[in-house]
Amino acid sequence: MEFQHIVELVGRAVDAAGVAIIVVGTLLATVLAAIRLSRRQAGVYRGYRRRVGRSILLGLEFLVAGDIIRTVAVAPTYASVGVLAVIVGIRTFLSFSLELEITGRWPWQKPVAEAED
Q: pLDDT by residue (tens digit) across 15-40?
A: 999 999 999 999 999 999 999 999 99
3-state secondary structure of 81: helix
Q: What pLDDT score was predicted for residue 117?
A: 41
Task: Give the chain's domain count.
Answer: 1
pLDDT tens readout for residues 75-89: 778 888 888 888 888
18 CB-contact burial (10 Å; exposed 0-12 / middle 13-18 / buried 19+): buried
The domain in which residue 65 lies consists of 3-115
Distance of CA 74 to the CA centre of its chain: 24
**Mean pLDDT in residue range 101-112:** 75
Neighbours of 78 (CB within 10 A): 7
| Chain mean pLDDT for the chain | 86
Question: Is pLDDT above 60 for 56?
Answer: yes
SS3 content of the chain, % helix, strand, coil (to 5): 80, 0, 20
